[in-house]
A and B are shown apart, each in its own frame.
Chain A
Amino acid sequence: MISLKDIQKGLLVSLWFVFLTFPLLVIKVNPIERVITWRWYNMLWIALASFCCYLGVRVYKSRQLTRHKRVKLGIVKERAAWSVRILKEPSVYIPFLLVVGLFALVFPWIFSTYQTNIMVTALMYIVLGLGLNIVVGVAGLLDLGYVAFYAVGAYSYALLNMHFGLGFWMVLPIGGLLAASLGILLGFPVLRLRGDYLAIVTLGFGEIIRLILENWNDFSQGPSGISNIPRPGLFGLHLSLDQSITYLYYLVIAMVLFTIFVVNRLQNSRIGRAWFALREDEIACQAMGIDKTRTKLTAFALGAFWAGMVGVIFAAKTTFVNPASFTFLESAIILCIVVLGGMGSIIGVILAALILILMPEYLRAFSDYRMLVFGAVLVTMMIFRPQGLIANVRRTYNIPKV
């Protein structure tokens, strides 16, 4: 499988990476005290890692190739992905769902408040991922400023509560609607742009919102942010901190279920079909009588609506908002969830959110490398598995054969 030539090339690749990373990884200078630290061990690591990576990719590619050839020659049949097979088998997925459901239900009673709190964060990212999934995964509009809508939700709770004393339940839909309106407002001019320009415009827009929040002190209290935001209330009962986190947990679980329900139904509807078609071919879509702008706008606004609602929950959870929570990196994390999970795939996005958000929390050693890994995930997924961990399964209709 691995030929001598591969090893030779692997050595060359490893040599190249040693050269490439030499100044940044091996040398560290302190320009003030004029001290150089040489970190030769890093060179060793890089040499080893790049060599192994190269061979790994070679092996993967050659296996891919033989598999492809065999399928073509008809020796083996093309296998449906394991995820598809599981999802189609009721005797597998029903018990699985029951176990997951039960686990989710009792989670706050088994684990500590700290763990529950982390889980709440992960669940929030599930909802964010599913929301962005409508925009990026289903409709194919790369939105790099998704965090702006999240910020709008969070600040609308913070500000409406501070100025008008509005409660959580009141602001939850308002936050969503405000974000959606902003989405429509922004969407009108930008959605006719080509895919990559749209990405950059939304990125710029996200940064503008953050910079405004940072600089417009009278409105948003600037970089110091707004604190003492009340947690969600439960019929006016007074809840302890632990209780309110448990309460928040169930609230977010309900939110996740609600989102799954809505997104699932939308995907299998007339509008959902139009979104998928739009992702495939815009011109053909228009020629089939689909109003491009309006269809894009609904996807954009719906995505924003969800971000806005999660924003409200975020403000209620942390009881504090400031602009630093809404940087481009946040958008990138959510994008990463969608890409890793699989564009358009609900289960994939849920799984990816859990992996990407929980892993850095539980593997402390890993948490420094979080963003590095997220970046690598985006690149690797695009190259090796663009359909994501769990590919989206298109709906089939039960129709008798004739």
Chain B
Amino acid sequence: MEPLLNITGLTMDFGGIRALDHLDLSVQQGKIVALIGPNGAGKTTFFNCLTGIYKPTSGDLLLTPPGRETSRLNGLKPNRVTQHGLARTFQNIRLFPNMTVLENVMIGRHCRTRAKILGAIFRNRKTVQEEKEIVALSLSILKKIGLYDMHDEFAKNLPYGAQRRLEIARALATDPLLLLLDEPAAGMNPQETSELDELITAIRDDGLSILLIEHDMKLVMSLSDHIFVMDYGKKIAEGDPKSIRNNPEVIKAYLGEDIDDA
């Protein structure tokens, strides 16, 4: 089967520095795929290239929704990428702090709705209907994610773990095919992490594909169907959790070259 996301030869240069070096990576429909690697390996840069925040120097980013045409995502603006069905969260939380939890999720619906200025002024039936649907859908997402009771709180007043989950809720509201999570468990306590584990599995079971960057190896190993390992902008290994765990290249990348001399 054609993979949902197929990336070939992705390269990103900043001036003279090559942050990503001919990266090949693919995500199958309905799978959880993890991208791991030491700090500075280029994982977040990879996300930024994928979501249109940076424009990759070369390579192909191809998205093939099930039963539809393949489209090339290179050089699209971030909002266009999201419209194609990629939604992301951020490593350092970027919510809209002074908007309510519900509004944060409603923003996610923006790219799937139409109402224009005139609709907003005259509030015709279509606009009212659309607005109702936005609220209903956003609430159902909040329910799923466990933030329903907090929908009137300002996003900035949520506890840290809840903010991370709200970011996921907001991304889900864009109706993505592929959810990109940038270190979703960073800074979470074990309790929150295990809740997150359940949440991500539930999202996958709803039929979404997930690509995540994560440092929490326990989480990665328990969640992922497939793992890619990066170092210095290159892919150094890929495979299922078990094979990655025993891969000498990966161990070397994480622990350093000459472990015996240290």
Contact = CB atoms under 8 A, between A and B. Distances in A.
Given A270-B131, A289-B83, A265 B120 contact: yes
B97 A280 contact: yes
B232 interface: no
B170 interface: yes
B107 A273 contact: yes
A396 B139 CA distance: 13
A374 to B, nearest CB: 26
B57 interface: no
Interface in A371-402: 394-397, 399, 401-402
A288 B115 contact: no
B94 A281 contact: yes
Contacts of B134: 270
A286 interface: yes
Interface stretch (B8-16, B146-154, B220-228): B146-154
B135 A397 contact: yes
A280 B98 contact: yes
Nearest to A401: B149
B120 A292 contact: no
A172 interface: no
Interface string B55-95: 00000000000000000000001110011000110100011
B144 interface: no
A401 to B, nearest CB: 7
A270 B123 CA distance: 11
Given A270-B115, A271-B117, A288-B82, A281 B123 contact: no
A292 B151 contact: no
Interface in B98-121: 98-100, 102-103, 106-108, 110-113, 115-117, 119-121
A333 to B, nearest CB: 27
Contact of A273 (B51, B90, B110, B127): B110
A10 B239 CA distance: 70
B29 interface: no
A396 B99 CA distance: 10
A283 B117 contact: no
A397 B77 contact: no
Contact residues of B: prevailing secondary structure = helix
Which of B79, B100, B134, B139 has most A Cβ within 10 Å? B79
Nearest to A271: B120
Contact of B96 (A266, A276, A289): A276
Given A273-B110, A289-B110, A394-B103, A280 B117 contact: no
Given A283-B53, A397-B135, A402-B148, A266 B99 contact: no
Contacts of A292: 79
Contacts of B119: 269
Interface residues of A, number: 32
B120 A285 contact: no
A127 interface: no
A262 B121 CA distance: 6
A111 B23 CA distance: 77
B163 interface: no
A284 B96 contact: yes
A298 interface: yes
B135 A291 contact: no
Contacts of A281: 94-96
A285 B51 CA distance: 13
Interface string B143-171: 10000110110100000000000000011
A266 B123 CA distance: 10
Contacts of B139: 399
B209 interface: no
A288 B117 contact: no
A288 B108 contact: yes
A208 B53 CA distance: 34
A385 to B, nearest CB: 15
B79 A291 contact: yes
Which of B103, B107, B130, B171 has most A Cβ within 10 Å? B107
Given A271-B115, A280-B96, A288 B149 contact: no
A287 interface: yes
Contacts of A266: 117, 120-121
B91 to A, nearest CB: 12
Given A281-B94, A284-B95, A285-B107, A270 B82 contact: no
A271 B103 CA distance: 12
* Closest 3 A/B residue pairs (Cβ): A289-B111, A269-B120, A289-B82
12 contacts: A265-B120, A269-B120, A273-B107, A273-B110, A274-B107, A280-B97, A283-B53, A284-B95, A287-B94, A288-B108, A290-B79, A290-B111
Given A273-B106, A288-B171, 16 more contacts: A270-B113, A273-B103, A273-B110, A280-B96, A281-B96, A283-B78, A284-B90, A285-B96, A286-B78, A286-B82, A287-B78, A288-B174, A289-B82, A292-B79, A394-B99, A399-B151
